[in-house]
Amino acid sequence: MALDLPALEQQHADFIKAGLKLDLTRGKPSFEQLDLSNALLESIDASLVSKNNDDGVDLRNYGGVNGLKQSKVWFADILGLPTAQSENNIFVGGNSSLSLMHFSLWLAFFIGFRDNTASWQQEAQEKNSRVKMLCPVPGYDRHFALCEQLGIEMIPVALTGSGPDIDQVQQLVSQDPMIKGIWCVPRFSNPTGEVYSEATVTAIAQLGKIAGNNFLVFWDNAYAVHVIENDAPVLSNIAEKAAQAGCEDSILQFASSSKMTFAGAGLAALASSQNNIQAFNKHFGLQSIGPDKINQLRHTQFLPSIEAIHQHMAQHAAILKPKFDTVDQILKQELGQDNNLGKWTKPTGGYFFSFDSQQGLAKTIIDLAAEAGVKLTPAGATFPYGRDPNDCNIRLAPSYPNLEELTLAMKVFCNCVKLATTKATI
Amino acid sequence: MALDLPALEQQHADFIKAGLKLDLTRGKPSFEQLDLSNALLESIDASLVSKNNDDGVDLRNYGGVNGLKQSKVWFADILGLPTAQSENNIFVGGNSSLSLMHFSLWLAFFIGFRDNTASWQQEAQEKNSRVKMLCPVPGYDRHFALCEQLGIEMIPVALTGSGPDIDQVQQLVSQDPMIKGIWCVPRFSNPTGEVYSEATVTAIAQLGKIAGNNFLVFWDNAYAVHVIENDAPVLSNIAEKAAQAGCEDSILQFASSSKMTFAGAGLAALASSQNNIQAFNKHFGLQSIGPDKINQLRHTQFLPSIEAIHQHMAQHAAILKPKFDTVDQILKQELGQDNNLGKWTKPTGGYFFSFDSQQGLAKTIIDLAAEAGVKLTPAGATFPYGRDPNDCNIRLAPSYPNLEELTLAMKVFCNCVKLATTKATI
């Protein structure tokens, strides 16, 4: 495609002149999506919270440190775990799953997750090495920030479109006993949108066999039920596969209602082996007087069954789909499909598009867009230490702006891609 | 007082036969107290949360990691800090203050609270020593449990009736640079109910001068506004005194609404120097998507001023005072006031009585009470490592049972005291 540099520059100048203020940085639910859950703001009958006899606890008082029974069942349904397992295999807290990941990470790093596992820190001191974790890339910047805070060395692993490159993962883990964990967003991965294949899930479920019993898979199933297209791939059940392999102690599954109800006032869950949940409860219970049980009740009353949850998520999808369609359409219209200007895959769920420009152009494109009033996630943010070795990955988050704003932002973005690419090839 | 052993034994046997099930273990608000805050269960107008322009944040969405402005002012009022300081000197989270103490402790221990302070762990390694903290006794078991989890050596310090023995504190701190902090419940201390005197507050505010800039006072002001008697002593303002001494970085003040509204669904705050709040926000923000801002709004709407807060606390006092009176009256009636059988002071606020039996009898009394169906806090719980060197301290928590149950429980308790003391002196 031959591009007309002066026209692109003129267009860019016009966008700058328009003084736009658009933002595609974070995966935030829109106003409309939040409105879907306004029933959570309705009053609760006092008799429901004071006489709720889940373990005989008045929901307004202290107690029930690991979550209400009904909220454990709620998350069991979301994660596809048997109801019978919910009591001993699930912990439900307040917002957010990120806090549960943080606590789990610190517990494993500083104290040892279970009584029979050494702290990662201690193992590293004994081996005169560093704690390391595998990070499929591009990935979620907040996972990386948690590692960076603790000085955990992050080893990037390539994503394939159906999860991380398993050969690479297995090889790395078998070579270095100080690789103690892996971050996974297995369904509608942030930002690629890919869903891990059954073979990948099976292999990850069994990593403990190679990596030992102090290895933890941080299975951040943030988008477990966040389907946009009806034909979205289903995720295999890692808990089942891990149990079959005797590796259940190495899997920590996280889920959250943040992008189902209110992003800032939701519930979060950890699901794992009985051993792990027992260890987690013991340590978490030292610093907690229990989660907000009233908010747990609000959620299970508002969405009382997995069918209700899926129907509710379909309403989210109805709002998100036009936005995802718009992003895809404008990218196609403006950039064509010959991969010269960039590559992307339209996700079937989740919150993001992952766009790869030509090598070395992501930062330039993002700076140009900022100049024209469109804020994008900083270049490199999807890689450990903020370093994208090819400087090509850009995360686009279409959920928050309305359709009109999104259309305009995407036009600005595409013009920046064309402008940067043309300049680079002159 | 001459006591009749067979009569005491007969009485004890009668209590056992009655099959009582009474519980004076934990400082939980009663059903009636929780009912005082049922307005928090009422519906919230969606326009209030979606258009609440505190920093332009939709309260339902992500964001506002360090709390809503109005909730910071709310806690500034509770802690007696100037409103103007609330923005930069206060962090407001969800429940509970215990979680904020935990996070602060881990931050100081493992990472270093501020960028310019080493981690306590690192200092200990360099000095080939252990991290130590001062624990005024009798004290709060959950503080001790946080220390024990990290292997922090706890050094007991005597309480005097107006706070810890300051000579002892200053001497210890000046002798050992690995003493890195002190736990304080400065008003209506748990369990003694004492209020730290102005001289004590002044001395604690200045400890940083002796102990260095990596020393932290964990000022757990859990009962800041929890007055029962109108003549309850007022607590001096430690923030002011620390600022005068240039020690503001060594004071972490914690407060909580748990015993003001709903124990399980309240707000918690950390107040400290700008440096500390900045450092706290930075690290806490890595693992948080923000507190439940809707619940923060619920609280500031329900109790919109410090006057409203005091009025609300007076309603709590109206429920608690008859219970505290009952405990004191029955102790006086049954045990007399000659200190032969035990010592206690009637607190003017807070949640507990601290009872000291004759030396070596606490465990026996608690076991006897359990036998007769009255659960008490385990012997030793008010001391580090659960070890009361004199085996005499018993914490009584009168808030939860109703007056009738409380009366009966106290009669059982007093009979156990008399029985144990009589047996011990035969």
User: Which residue stretches of A27-140 are H helix?
Assistant: 31-35, 46-50, 69-79, 83-89, 97-106, 120-126
Enumerate residues 13 to 42 of chain B having a beta carbon within 8 A of any beta carbon in chain A: 26, 28-29, 31, 34-35, 37-38, 41-42
Yes or no, beta carbons of B289 and A45 under 8 Å apart: no
Yes or no, beta carbons of A94 and B292 under 8 Å apart: yes
* C-alpha triplet A376, A380, A383: angle, nearest 5°: 125
Chain A interface test: which of B287, B298, B299 (most A C-beta within 10 Å): B287
Enumerate residues 128 to 147 of chain B having a beta carbon within 8 A of any beta carbon in chain A: 142, 145-146
Facing residue for A44 by CB, picked from B41, B45, B94: B41
Does B124 have pLDDT greater than 90?
yes
| A199 Cα to chain B: minimum distance (Å) | 31
Q: Does A289 touch chain B (CB under 8 A)?
A: yes
Output the average pLDDT for chain A: 96
Q: Are strands B393-396 and B353-357 parallel, antiparallel or unpaired?
A: antiparallel
To which H or E segment does residue A132 belong? strand A132-137
Chain A interface test: which of B60, B262, B267 (most A C-beta within 10 Å): B60
User: What are residue B418's phi and psi, to 5 degrees?
Assistant: -65, -40
Query: Residue B400's closest chain A neighbor by CA?
Result: A61
Instruction: pLDDT band for A47, please (50, 70, 90 cuts).
Output: confident
Instruction: pLDDT band for B401, please (50, 70, 90 cuts).
Output: very high
Yes or no, beta carbons of A265 and B292 under 8 Å apart: yes
Residue B204: left (phi > 0), alpha (psi -120 to 50), or beta?
alpha
Tokens 């979205």 belong to residue:
A232
Yes or no, beta carbons of A264 and B293 under 8 Å apart: yes
Please list, residue by residue across B76-112, b when 16 or more beta carbons sit within 10 angstroms of its beta carbon and e when fewer do. bbbbbbeeebbeebbbbbbbbbbbbbbbbbbbbbbbb
Instruction: pLDDT band for A50, please (50, 70, 90 cuts).
Output: confident
Yes or no, beta carbons of B289 and A38 under 8 Å apart: no
Q: Does A101 touch chain B (CB under 8 A)?
A: yes
Give chain B's end-to-end CA distance (angstroms, integer): 14
CB B92 within 8 A of CB B68: yes
Chain B interface test: which of A146, A262, A270, A298 (most B C-beta within 10 Å): A262
Yes or no, beta carbons of A263 and B289 under 8 Å apart: yes
Residues of chain B positioned with their CB less than 8 A from the CB of A270: none
Average pLDDT over residues B72-99: 96
Facing residue for B58 by CB, picked from A34, A64, A293: A34
Residue-wise pLDDT tens digits, B131-184: 999 999 999 999 999 999 999 999 999 999 999 999 999 999 999 999 999 999
Does A85 have pLDDT greater than 90?
yes
The ipTM is 0.96
Q: How many CB pairs under 8 A join A and B?
A: 154
Facing residue for A263 by CB, picked from B49, B60, B110: B60
Q: Does B264 touch chain A (CB under 8 A)?
A: yes
Percent of chain A with pLDDT over 70: 98
SS3 B345: coil
| A32 Cα to chain B: minimum distance (Å) | 10
DSSP codes, B175-189: H-TTEEEEEE--SS-
Does A150 have pLDDT greater than 80?
yes
Query: Residue B26's closest chain A neighbor by CA?
Result: A62
Facing residue for B289 by CB, picked from A34, A96, A292: A96
Residue-wise pLDDT tens digits, B186-217: 999 999 999 999 999 999 999 999 999 999 99
SS3 B138: coil
Tokens 């981690």 belong to residue:
B119
* pLDDT for the residue numbered B54: 52
Does B1 have pLDDT greater than 80?
no
User: What pTM did the predictor assign?
Assistant: 0.97
Residue-wise pLDDT tens digits, B283-341: 999 999 999 999 999 999 999 999 999 999 999 999 999 999 999 999 999 998 777 89
| A157 Cα to chain B: minimum distance (Å) | 23
Of B151, B99, B35, which is closest to residue A65 (Cα–Cα)?
A: B99
- Rg value, chain A, Cα: 22
Does A380 have pLDDT greater than 90?
yes
Of A390, A396, A361, A392, which is closest to residue A377 (Cα–Cα)?
A: A396
Q: Per the omega criterion (within 30 degrees of 0), is the bond before A96 cis?
A: yes
Q: Does A80 touch chain B (CB under 8 A)?
A: no
Yes or no, beta carbons of B106 and A110 under 8 Å apart: yes
Tokens 């029979």 belong to residue:
A116
Average pLDDT over residues A46-69: 82
Give the amino acid at A96: S
Residues of chain B positioned with their CB less than 8 A from the CB of A38: 46
* pLDDT for the residue numbered A57: 76
Distance (Å, rounded) from C-alpha A421 to C-alpha A341?
Answer: 7
Enumerate residues 313 to 352 of chain A having a beta carbon within 8 A of any beta carbon in chain B: none
Residues of chain A positioned with their CB less than 8 A from the CB of B288: 96, 98-99
Distance (Å, rounded) from C-alpha B262 to C-alpha B295?
Answer: 11
CB A174 within 8 A of CB A166: no
Query: Residue B110's closest chain A neighbor by CA?
Result: A110
* pLDDT for the residue numbered A208: 97
Q: Does A94 touch chain B (CB under 8 A)?
A: yes
Does B2 have pLDDT greater than 70?
no
Output the average pLDDT for chain B: 96
Facing residue for B61 by CB, picked from A46, A50, A264: A264
Does B53 have pLDDT greater than 60?
no
Q: What number of other Cβ atoms are within 10 A of residue B45's Cβ?
A: 10
SS3 A310: helix
* pLDDT for the residue numbered A54: 52
